[in-house]
Amino acid sequence: MKKTLIISASVLLATFSACSDSKKNGNAAATTEVVQTSTDHNTASAPVVAASLPSFAIQDMQGRKLNLQSLKGKKVFVNLWASWCPPCRREMPSIEKLSQAVDANRVMFVMISLDDQFEQAKQFVKAKKMQLPVYYPTENLPAMFRVPYIPATFIFDEKGELIKQVGGSDDYNTARYKALLQ
């Protein structure tokens, strides 16, 4: 009985740590993957995949267009999320706190909504009084962002090279992430 309870709790925890696009349609699936450059004892690690900040057009809530590659020279924190995703909503406050704790001249936060309609994300942001910059894709997602789960976070250094990838939700308001974004 105890073993069954532990297994059930583990499955439930995995389900709530990430949403998949299929979950929106009623099929639950969760995956967690971390790619990083340094040894981290709190998360699983794998070799860093050679990847760089893609050329990718997005627009902000006022309709202004931006290409991700234009952000080279700063560290870039990209988060893929949707308003219908509970783990996405749960991690947002920690991302907002992290964004307030780092130098805005050196780090850019790019919250990319994967909602079917950008209006859904705009309403969510307004209702939650979020200050994070929210964007919407104006073209198909680049290959590196076509992951089977959200939230998904990609952190790039000033050269545009991927230095960390997180699949599923995380607590970003930590000394570890603050140091990574210095």
Number of domains the chain is built from: 1
Pairwise CA distance, residues 8 & 83, whole Å: 26
Residue 26 exposed, middle or buried by CB count within 10 Å (0-12, 13-18, 19+):
exposed
CATH number, domain of 64, equals: 3.40.30.10
- Please report the pLDDT score of residue 17 as a whole number: 52
Pairwise CA distance, residues 30 & 18, whole Å: 5
Give the residues across from 113 on adjacent strands: 81
Averages of pLDDT over runs of 10 residues in the chain (182 residues) are 37 47 36 34 39 93 94 96 95 95 95 94 92 94 93 96 94 95 92
Contact at 8 Å (CB) between 19 and 82?
Answer: yes
Query: Which tokens belong to 58?
Result: 């997005």
- Please report the pLDDT score of residue 176 as a whole number: 96
pLDDT tens per residue across span 89-132? 999 999 999 999 999 999 999 999 999 999 999 999 999 999 99
Helix H, strand E, coil C: the string for the chain is: CHHHHHHHHHHHHHHHHCECCCHHHCCCCCCCCEEECCCCCCCCCCCCCCCECCCCEEEECCCCEEEHHHHCCCEEEEEEECCCCHHHHHHHHHHHHHHHHCCCCCEEEEEEECCCCHHHHHHHHHHHCCCCCEEEECCCCCHHHCCCCECEEEEECCCCEEEEEEECCCCCCCHHHHHHCC
| Domain extent at residue 25 | 2-180
Pairwise CA distance, residues 30 & 47, whole Å: 21
